[in-house]
Amino acid sequence: MADSHRLDGVLPIDRSNLTLADKVEARLRHQIVQGERPTGSRLNEVEIATDLGVSRGPVREAMQRLAHHGLVTLESHRGAFVRRLDLHEVGELFEVRIALECEAAELAALRIDDVGLRELTLLQEASTSTGHHGPQPGVFDHLDLHTLVVQHAGNGRLQQAVAQVNGELRLARSRSGATGERAKEAADEHRELIGCLTSRDGRGARACMRQHLLASLKNTIQMLQVAADLNERKS
């Protein structure tokens, strides 16, 4: 059917440890943020249950959780769909992200210890090394300097709020991403941020984070606009 999206070679889900709903949620979340299930595509409950080797109950529960986190849209009498963010929503989410992560950067400058600074430096070196070999799918999901900065801000509620916003923004990032020249610019911006954190410069860390995220917003909007223009030409 045109409104369904099936994945070839999907392995049945492991039934140990976590609940089935937990595992289905994790699998679907991964597929969505990696772009394996495109935005706007229908999530067919029966097909997903069959592909993963589970009943429909855990799939339904997982979809409800993903809807709560802003990754899935549930439509009455139509079913579940991967949420499609428009440019206005992306802009709003980035405004919230900037406010939260700038505060996190300033707090981290005051609270991070030497071990944390070493972690950030090693992470930056690893991401830069990976970037020299060209863009690779999902690399920035595994090498996320922002996550570490927020962790070292030492505020659990702030960390939860950032995770919620960035979870939704991954719908846009799966279609844009930092590649080419922008990836190099982002690496330089990260280095400046780490420098401010190392010198315990809270105001500088806030300013660096703001500049970095504004550049990220600009890049994301440009990439999404290009994708929208291409889709319009095809239709």
Which residues contact residue 177 at a Cβ distance below 8 angstroms, ignoring those fewer than 6 apart? 135, 140, 223
- Give me the pLDDT at residue 75, please: 93
Tokens of 182: 């922008």
Secondary structure, 3-state, 53-91:
CCCHHHHHHHHHHHHHCCCEEEECCCEEEECCCCHHHHH
Stretch 145-167: mean pLDDT, rounded?
Answer: 95
Q: Across residues 182-200, what is the average pLDDT?
A: 94
What pLDDT score does 117 carry? Answer: 95
C-alpha–C-alpha distance, residues 223 and 212, integer Å? 17
Residue 1 has pLDDT above 80, yes or no: no
CB 103 within 8 A of CB 152: no
Please tell me the distance from the alpha carbon of residue 5 to that of residue 40, in angstroms, as a whole number.
10
Report how far residue 170's alpha carbon sits from residue 71's, in angstroms, rounded to the nearest whole number. 9
Confidence of residue 46 (pLDDT cuts 50, 70, 90): very high
Query: Is 87-234 a domain of CATH 1.20.120.80?
Result: no
Which amino acid, 172? A
Reported as a single tens digit per residue, the pLDDT across 110-154 is 999 999 999 999 998 887 775 544 444 333 333 489 999 999 999
- Position 226 scores a pLDDT of 78
| Residue ranges per structural domain of the chain | 20-82, 87-234
Dig out the tokens for 143 from the structure: 């090498």
CATH code of the domain occupying 20-82: 1.10.10.10
